[in-house]
Amino acid sequence: MKGKVYLVGAGPGDPDLLTVKALRVLKAADAVLHDDLVRPEILGLVSKNAQIQNVGKRCGTKKITQSEINVLMVTLAHAGLQVVRLKSGDPLIFGRAGEEMEALRRAAVDFEVVPGVTSGFAAAAAAGISLTHRAHSSALVLLTGHAADGRAETDWRPLVSSGATLVIYMPHDRSRIAARLRNAGMKGKTPCAIISRASSPEQRIEITTVADLPHSTSLPAPTLLVVGDVVGTPLRYASAETSLSWPVMKRTVPEIPGLDAVLAEARQFLDQEELRA
C-alpha cells in the first residue's frame, strides 16, 4: 500500500474557511501532524480513526525539530498511511513547506499541496481593508517581521517606494518594525492595522499609524500588521471585537500511540546522518 503526504492549509482559524478539498482530505487521513495554531474546532473535523499529533513550533519554543517532522512524515508515508501535514493559514506562506517538500522528494514520497486561506487575507477581510485599490495601491507584498537566524534582512526601501500594501506576518517587535519602515522612507502618518487572531472568536483589531505603532495596544498573538494607504479607506475605529459562534467539540483529540518510539528512531537516524556528514 502506497502512502502519501498532503500539505494542507487549515486557514486562519474559522472552520468555515477550510476549503472543501481540505475537509475531504482531513476526513480520509490516517495520520495528522498539526501545528500549534490549528484550532481544536478544526481538529474535531478529522476522522475519528485518524492518529493525531501536535508537532507545533511557536514563538521560539520547539516540541520537535523540523528534521524530526520530516522523518515522521516520511516514516508514516512509507508505512502506507495517508498523512496530513496540517498548517495554519496557507502551507506556502511562511509555513516551511519548501523544506518539507524537499525532504519528501528526496525520500521519493508522493505529496500534494492543498492551499488554504492565508491569515494575511483573513486579517484584511476582518478589518474591511481591500489590500489593493485602484486609487491607492496596485501591488501587495507579504513580509515576515523577522529574518531566520543567520540570514540578512530584506531591504524594505524598494518595497516602500513602490507604494505597495505591506502585510507583515509575526510583527512581534513593533518598535523595531516601525523604525525599519521609517528608515525605508515610510511616512509616519501612514495608516496601519493590527489584527489579532483573525477570524476567531477572540479577534481584535486596532487602527493606528506607523508613527504610533510602537505605542499601540499589545494584542494577543498571533497578530498581523497591514501597512499602507489602503488601511485608511474603510471606516476608522480604534478597536473592534467580533463574536463568532463555533460548535463545541464533542470528543477529545487523541495523540498518535507509540509516537515516542517513532520519534526515538527518528532522532537516532538523524544522529547517525549527522555523524556521517
Catalytic site positions: 35, 57
What is the torsional sign of CA 41, 45, 51, 55? negative
How far is the C-alpha of 161 from the C-alpha of 233, rounded, in Å?
20
| Cell numbers given for 200 | 476567531
Q: Are 4 and 111 in contact (CB under 8 A)?
A: yes
How far is the C-alpha of 46 from the C-alpha of 178, rounded, in Å?
41
How far is the C-alpha of 12 from the C-alpha of 127, rounded, in Å?
14
Cis peptide before 158 (omega within 30 of 0): no
CA 199 vs CA 58, 109, 265: distances in Å: 19, 34, 39
Give the N- to C-terminal CA distance of the chain in Å, as an integer: 32
In the block, which residue shows the cell 486579517? 123
Q: For the stretch 64-78, what's the b/e string if a residue is b when 16 or more beta carbons lie within 10 angstroms of its beta carbon?
A: beebbbbbbbbbbbe
Within 8 A by CB and 6+ apart from 19, the residues are 9, 11, 114, 115, 116, 117
The neighbour count for residue 258, using CB atoms within 10 Å, is 9
CA 242 vs CA 32, 83, 131, 199, 204: distances in Å: 30, 34, 21, 9, 7
Give me the helix-helix angle, 97-106 and 66-78, nearest 10°: 40
